[in-house]
């Protein structure tokens, strides 16, 4: 299992070598887009947050944006802002520069506006691209990998094929000394104790239950009903008997290892092994949170063939639905419908996913990368105040 990656100054490994423009606030997106037209190979990390947010919501946006900049797949970042926002570009750049990677920032209202910022930004990006092109790969191992997991457009095949097969690959990453992060708090509702009893300590277990409770309370405060512990008639018709079975089908992607910690959305885990990250199920926010937490690669089991991708990391799409595998072959990286047909044991399918993961770590492009599919969306948990 020989792989190689880009060694960063903080000791982490990038499995890709991107230069990015990160906006500290949505109002600066236009500058990023103009620079992006000049340099199509630069990642445009644009979003709608960064201003008029308060308290925990503002903290979460800051942590997430900083995490995106810190992601080891990124060699250098230009942070752009206006200069008047609640998340200043300079503060964000300072936080990202703790990784000792190339970081610069531009506040264009503090200078002479957009027109003056374009050549300044261009010169910074040119310099970073020159530097990045001189970086060479070094041998490394899967122990340097933080793997993110997200499932979407799930169907009746997900719980018996793509999710458990992904779980087997996730276990193999942990056995190789790596980190695995799975998320999607709403999917734990009703089955949090099943994951909780795998926790490494009482503190981790309690934090998991508290996180689920807070998610439900936030929904309740907005007059939303999350239909706790509900198995819908469609689920029953499809063969799902209880809420435990329904949730287990989803959390199978997280494998079977001990839960080492529970993370806030976009929080970078300390230590090795399996982590659960607070977050929504919606694809752009879920993938963004995983990238902010440091995931260099994401595995995405899907029944119906969700196209969701990430700008920062390769996303490996796995389906167990034979029709999806055929019809949406331009989006799907691994077809495990062989399990449904009884032609391949689940364990073999899981090993196949792991082998693909190793190749992707070593540079093989995923379908979402060649399609250029992905966007950034930061999970917003508060009202806009101002």
Partner 1 sequence: MDIQKAIMINEKDNVATLLADVDKNDMIQVMVGGSLKEVRMEGKIQFGHKFAIREINKGENVIKYGEPIGQATQDIEEGQHVHVHNVESLRARGDLL
What does the alpha-carbon distance between residue 94 and residue 340 come to, in Å, rounded to a whole number? 50
Least distance CB 12 / partner 1 (angstroms): 33
Whether the Cβ atoms of residue 31 and residue 80 lie closer than 8 Å to each other: yes
Q: By CB under 8 A, which span of 11-19, 90-98, 169-177, 249-257 interacts with partner 1? A: 249-257
- Residue 323 in the binding site for partner 1 (CB under 8 A): no
Of residues 146-205, those binding partner 1 (CB under 8 A): 156, 160, 164, 190, 193-194
Whether the Cβ atoms of residue 249 and residue 191 lie closer than 8 Å to each other: no
- Residue 109 in the binding site for partner 1 (CB under 8 A): no
Total number of residues that touch partner 1 (CB under 8 A):
26
CB closer to partner 1 out of 213 and 327: 213
- Residue 113 in the binding site for partner 1 (CB under 8 A): no
Can you give 193-214 as a three-state secondary structure string?
A: HHHHCCECCHHHHHHHHHHHHH
In 3-state terms the chain splits into helix, strand, coil percentages (rounded to 5) of 45, 15, 40
Task: Compute the half-sphere exposure of residue 139: CA atoms within 13 Å on the CB side of its CA.
Answer: 2
Q: By CB under 8 A, which span of 49-57, 136-144, 333-341, 367-375 interacts with partner 1? A: 333-341
CB closer to partner 1 out of 121 and 196: 196
**If you count them, how many residues does the chain have?**
386
- Residue 256 in the binding site for partner 1 (CB under 8 A): yes
- Residue 385 in the binding site for partner 1 (CB under 8 A): no
β-sheet bridge partners, residue 77: 20, 103
- Residue 229 in the binding site for partner 1 (CB under 8 A): yes
Distances (CA, A) of 359 to 16, 99, 333, 363: 13, 26, 12, 6
- Residue 303 in the binding site for partner 1 (CB under 8 A): no
- Residue 230 in the binding site for partner 1 (CB under 8 A): no
Place of tokens 């299992």: 1
- Residue 346 in the binding site for partner 1 (CB under 8 A): yes
* The binder of partner 1 chosen from 340, 348, 363, 382 (CB under 8 A): 340
Residues that bind partner 1 (CB under 8 A): 156, 160, 164, 190, 193-194, 229, 236, 238-239, 241-245, 248-249, 252, 256, 339-343, 345-346
């Amino acid at each position: 299992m020989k792989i190689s990656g880009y060694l960063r100054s903080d000791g982490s490994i990038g499995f890709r070598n991107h230069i990015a423009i990160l906006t500290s606030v949505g109002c600066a997106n236009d500058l990023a887009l103009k620079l992006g037209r000049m340099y199509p190979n630069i990642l445009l990390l644009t979003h709608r947050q960064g201003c008029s947010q308060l308290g925990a919501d503002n903290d979460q946006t800051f942590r997430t944006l900083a995490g995106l900049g810190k992601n080891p797949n990124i060699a250098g970042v230009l942070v752009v802002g206006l200069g008047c926002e609640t998340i200043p570009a300079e503060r964000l750049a300072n936080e990202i520069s703790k990784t000792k990677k190339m970081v610069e920032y531009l506040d264009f209202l503090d200078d002479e506006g957009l027109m003056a910022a374009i050549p300044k930004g261009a010169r910074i990006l040119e310099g970073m691209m020159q530097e990045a092109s001189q970086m060479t790969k070094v041998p490394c191992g899967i122990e340097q990998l933080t793997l993110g997991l997200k499932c979407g457009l799930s169907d009746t095949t997900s719980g018996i094929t793509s999710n458990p097969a992904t779980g087997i690959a996730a276990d193999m990453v942990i056995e190789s000394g790596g980190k695995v992060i799975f998320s999607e708090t709403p999917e734990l509702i009703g089955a949090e104790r099943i994951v909780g009893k795998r926790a490494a300590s009482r503190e981790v277990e309690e934090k998991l239950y508290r996180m689920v409770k807070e998610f439900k309370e936030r929904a309740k405060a907005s007059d939303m009903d999350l239909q706790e512990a509900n198995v819908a008639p469609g689920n029953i018709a499809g063969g799902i008997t209880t809420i435990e079975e329904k949730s287990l089908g989803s959390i199978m992607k997280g494998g079977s290892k001990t839960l080492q910690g529970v993370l806030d959305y976009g929080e970078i885990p300390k230590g090795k092994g399996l982590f659960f990250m607070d977050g929504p199920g919606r694809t752009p926010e879920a993938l963004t949170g995983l990238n902010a937490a440091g995931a260099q690669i994401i595995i995405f089991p899907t029944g119906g063939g969700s196209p969701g991708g990430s700008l920062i990391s390769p996303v490996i799409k796995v389906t167990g639905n034979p029709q999806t595998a055929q019809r949406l072959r331009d989006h799907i990286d691994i077809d495990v419908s062989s399990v449904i047909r009884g032609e391949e044991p689940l364990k073999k399918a899981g090993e196949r996913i792991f082998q693909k993961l190793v190749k992707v770590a070593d540079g093989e492009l995923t379908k979402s990368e060649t399609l250029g599919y992905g966007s950034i969306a930061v999970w917003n948990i508060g009202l806009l105040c101002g």
